[in-house]
Amino acid sequence: MPIFLKFLLKNFKSIKKEVRTINKKIVLLGLIISSLALNATNYRTVREAVKTNAATKSTNNQNTKNNTVNEVIIPKGLKPGDTIGLIAPANYTNENSNAEVEYLTSRGFNVVYGQSFYSRWYGFGGTDSVRAKDINDMFANPNINAIFAVRGGYGGIRIVDKLNYDIIKKNPKIISGFSDNTTLLLAINEKTGLVTFHGPMADNLKNIPPVTENAFNKAFTSNESYNLLGFDDTYTIMKSGRGSGKITGGNLSLVVATLGTDHEINTDGKILFLEETNEASYRVDRMLKQLKLAGKFDKLQGIILGDFKNPKQSDPTDMTIDEVFYDNFGKLNVPIVKNFKSGHVRPFIAVPIGAKAVMDTYKREIMIEKATK
């Protein structure tokens, strides 16, 4: 037998073992190479995703949880004989609430009362469920043509997540109020597209000033376009320019309170309306800075600054309210009007939230396309 064959036979087992070991090493090496390739692919995918996300953030700095864009829904206007439901969605009713009842009935409207109108629970017009149920029920009731709040205070944010936005969208009608009711008006407009109204309540309607009544008529009973600056000429043009978009906003404190929630205000391409009462100038500055840091001024088309009642300086070194405005808005390239008569003030000009508007300070106009139909 040849020496080579003898060697093979003698060492067969050890050679077989070595071959198996080599095969295992080859398989292991293949697995390692595959894993490295997969990791490289994943790395590229993650890197591209990070780049895309960064690009998205750079083009849209507004930190918003509310990206829904709804078609504008115009509610039907009021006429004598229509029925208005009265509610207390925040604090309970007081003696001033009767002024609203008297004015509306004097105009030939029928009024009905929600359970919240008569209820009390702590400082609220009834429990959260009572106040939310009033709104849901009145939207669902075809015999009620409009819903008016009779008081602000505090409480809207406790019921905003209890509203049935599907029912509201399917049964659009006027809903009006201001101050704390900003929370509800903004949420309804953002979630459904329904135009809501920053409108007068209670003693705003007592011995009603002509400016308030003229604005009431245009907002609630007319189906024509109108000039929001046409009711009173005591406003000031802070910055000239032109812009167009839907109007959004309301009470500054309540607008800021929406940030970080599912009902966060969306200001992109819109005209921002703000008003406030009894807030020191440094507190107004802080709230405006918070809106700015949240990206809410980045894509504005215009600003309407309503009445800022009693904006005292807590310290002599604090900015005045006008200095706060110029510091926060002075570098924005949008038209700005201030001292507009709307908010905690008489007279009171109703502002349709969500209505399309064209702002042109050169013509002294903020033309509302349509508030009601």
What is the tens place of the pLDDT at every residue in 308-365? 998 988 999 999 999 999 999 999 999 999 999 999 999 999 999 999 999 999 999 9
Question: What is the DSSP-derived secondary structure letter of residue 90?
Answer: S
Q: Is 14 a catalytic residue?
A: no
User: What does the pLDDT read at residue 223?
Assistant: 93
Q: What is this structure's pTM?
A: 0.83
Q: Return all residues near 333 (Cβ < 8 A) that are at least 6 apart.
A: 241
Rg (C-alpha) for the chain, rounded Å, is: 31
User: In degrees rounded to 5, what are phi and psi of residue 354?
Assistant: 100, -10
Peptide bond into 172 cis (omega under 30): no
d(CA 276, CA 198): 13
Strand, helix or coil for residue 343: coil
Work out the pLDDT band at 3, boundaries 50, 70, 90. low
Q: Is 344 a catalytic residue?
A: yes
- Between the two ends of the chain, the Cα-to-Cα distance in Å is 111
Work out the pLDDT band at 44, boundaries 50, 70, 90. low
Q: Is 275 a catalytic residue?
A: yes
pLDDT higher than 70, residue 12: no
Beta strands across the sheet bearing 351-353: 110-113, 83-87, 146-149, 174-177, 196-198, 351-353
Contact 271, 242 (CB under 8 A): no
Instruction: Give the pairing of strands 336-338 and 302-309.
Output: parallel
Domain 83-368: CATH architecture, name and number where available: 3-Layer(aba) Sandwich (3.40)
Work out the pLDDT band at 25, boundaries 50, 70, 90. low
- Which member of 97, 116, 176, 179 is catalytic? 179
Question: What average pLDDT does this structure show over 56-71?
Answer: 58
Work out the pLDDT band at 69, boundaries 50, 70, 90. confident
Contact 79, 104 (CB under 8 A): no
pLDDT higher than 60, residue 21: no
Side chain identity, residue 306:
G
Q: Mean pLDDT score of the chain, rounded to an integer?
A: 88
How many percent of the chain have pLDDT more than 90?
80
User: What does the pLDDT read at residue 24?
Assistant: 54
d(CA 164, CA 37): 51
Q: How is the chain split among helix, strand and coil, in percent rounded to 5?
A: 40, 20, 40
The model's pLDDT over 275-322, given as tens digits with 9 standing for 90+, comes to: 999 999 999 999 999 999 999 999 999 999 999 998 988 999 999 999
- Which member of 100, 275, 276, 279 is catalytic? 275
Domain boundaries, the chain: 83-368
pLDDT higher than 80, residue 213: yes
Work out the pLDDT band at 18, boundaries 50, 70, 90. low
The DSSP bridge partners found for residue 227 are 367
pLDDT higher than 90, residue 175: yes
Contact 121, 130 (CB under 8 A): yes
